[in-house]
């Protein structure tokens, strides 16, 4: 068995690049998601762009991070608190590729996302479960949700779920999935969901973070993107605490920045 174990470690470690970090910043943008990812090779990815009234929080963060262009912009699902900042982002930064699930909705913020992609001539792709995002050879970016068959009546349940693996570390981005999608995700992926870091699904509301999800992901750290208005619910926070999970939240901690060297995560 020792030979098998050391072979596994060798293979796993081979994915991580010596001295290069994966950085993830949950930008404090009020109630919404805007997550900036700097890959080990230096590619820039923006996963959601926050609500429309706080687009400046996102664009000024990107400027402070000295981002000149985005290699990928990903919309988890077409709700205003995720799509709202993209119009400003597209105006201020060249974007190479835009990804979405293909689940449509009639919010003006989503229409602006689509018209921005067209106006700027941004390449556009759909992400479905079973796919990958090839952005950096040091990362394994797995698309775990939504399934391609049909859409749910609840747009949240069609959020793109990404598991980003760097060396021995993993982080699970969940958009706003709720109970039903969490059950489907666990059914389809079981133990392959394990990740040390979990983005709290749906801003820490009691619609989500079911026991079955937490049991499969086994996170040690949960990050909640939230702000003014509806706050994370006590029952969910209790569930995290009972499971021994550390909680960071953008409304109390500001922008939350994490870094992985392929071996472990650090909070910056």
From 36-44, 168-176, 236-244, 254-262, give the range in contact with Zn ion by CB under 5 A.
Answer: 168-176
109 counts as binding Zn ion under rule CB under 5 A: no
Q: What strand order describes the sheet that includes 221-224?
A: 140-145, 161-166, 169-173, 197-199, 221-224, 246-249
Looking at the Cβ atoms of 176 and 182, the one nearer to Zn ion is 176
Looking at the Cβ atoms of 167 and 175, the one nearer to Zn ion is 175
Looking at the Cβ atoms of 176 and 251, the one nearer to Zn ion is 176
Applying the rule CB under 5 A, the residues between 67 and 96 that interact with Zn ion are 81
What single-letter DSSP state applies at residue 51?
-
Looking at the Cβ atoms of 200 and 260, the one nearer to Zn ion is 200
- Asked if 196 and 170 count as a contact pair (C-beta separation under 8 A), the reply is yes
Minimum distance from residue 89 beta carbon to Zn ion (Å): 17
Looking at the Cβ atoms of 64 and 106, the one nearer to Zn ion is 106
d(CA 253, CA 34) in angstroms, rounded, equals 15
- Asked if 159 and 144 count as a contact pair (C-beta separation under 8 A), the reply is no
Minimum distance from residue 149 beta carbon to Zn ion (Å): 24
Phi, psi values for residue 112, rounded to 5°: -65, -35
- Please return the burial class of 186, using the count of CB atoms within 10 Å of its CB with bins 0-12, 13-18 and 19+: middle
Minimum distance from residue 32 beta carbon to Zn ion (Å): 6
Handedness of CA 157, 250, 89, 229 (dihedral sign): positive
Minimum distance from residue 82 beta carbon to Zn ion (Å): 5
48 counts as binding Zn ion under rule CB under 5 A: no
- Asked if 52 and 81 count as a contact pair (C-beta separation under 8 A), the reply is no
Looking at the Cβ atoms of 32 and 262, the one nearer to Zn ion is 32
Nearest Cα to Cα of residue 185 among 200, 197, 169, 174: 174
Applying the rule CB under 5 A, the residues between 189 and 248 that interact with Zn ion are none
CB atoms within 10 A of CB 179: 18
Cβ density class 58-85: b for 16+ within 10 Å, e for less? bbebbeeeebeebbbbbbbbbbbbbbbb
Minimum distance from residue 176 beta carbon to Zn ion (Å): 4
Looking at the Cβ atoms of 136 and 178, the one nearer to Zn ion is 178
Strand partners of residue 95: 70
Minimum distance from residue 113 beta carbon to Zn ion (Å): 14
- Where do we find the tokens 């569930």? 239
- Site size for Zn ion (CB under 5 A): 2
Applying the rule CB under 5 A, the residues between 8 and 27 that interact with Zn ion are none
176 counts as binding Zn ion under rule CB under 5 A: yes
From 65-73, 169-177, 181-189, 256-264, give the range in contact with Zn ion by CB under 5 A.
Answer: 169-177
Question: Which residues bind to Zn ion, rule: CB under 5 A?
Answer: 81, 176
């Amino acid at each position: 068995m020792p030979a098998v174990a050391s072979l596994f470690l060798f293979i796993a470690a081979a994915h991580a690049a010596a001295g290069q970090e994966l950085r993830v910043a949950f930008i404090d943008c009020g109630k919404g998601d805007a997550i900036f990812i700097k890959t080990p090779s230096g590619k820039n990815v923006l996963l959601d762009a926050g609500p429309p009234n706080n687009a400046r929080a996102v664009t000024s963060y990107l400027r402070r991070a000295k981002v000149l262009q985005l290699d990928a912009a990903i919309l988890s699902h077409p709700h205003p608190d995720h799509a709202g900042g993209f119009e400003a982002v597209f105006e201020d930064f060249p974007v190479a590729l835009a990804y979405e699930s293909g689940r449509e909705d009639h919010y003006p913020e989503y229409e602006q996302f689509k018209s921005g992609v067209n106006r700027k001539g941004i390449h556009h792709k759909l992400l479905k479960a079973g796919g990958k995002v090839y952005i950096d050879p040091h990362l394994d970016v797995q698309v775990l949700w939504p399934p391609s068959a049909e859409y749910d009546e609840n747009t949240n349940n069609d959020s793109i779920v990404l598991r980003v693996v760097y060396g021995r570390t993993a982080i699970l981005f969940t958009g706003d999935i709720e109970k039903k999608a969490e059950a489907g995700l666990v059914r389809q992926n079981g133990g392959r969901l394990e990740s040390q870091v979990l983005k709290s699904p749906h801003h820490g509301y009691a619609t989500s973070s079911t026991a079955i999800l937490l049991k499969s992901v086994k996170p040690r750290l949960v990050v909640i993107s939230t702000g003014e208005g509806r706050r994370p619910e006590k029952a969910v926070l209790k569930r995290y605490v009972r499971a021994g999970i550390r909680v960071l939240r953008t409304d109390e901690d500001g922008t939350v920045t994490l870094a992985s060297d392929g071996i472990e995560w650090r909070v910056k």
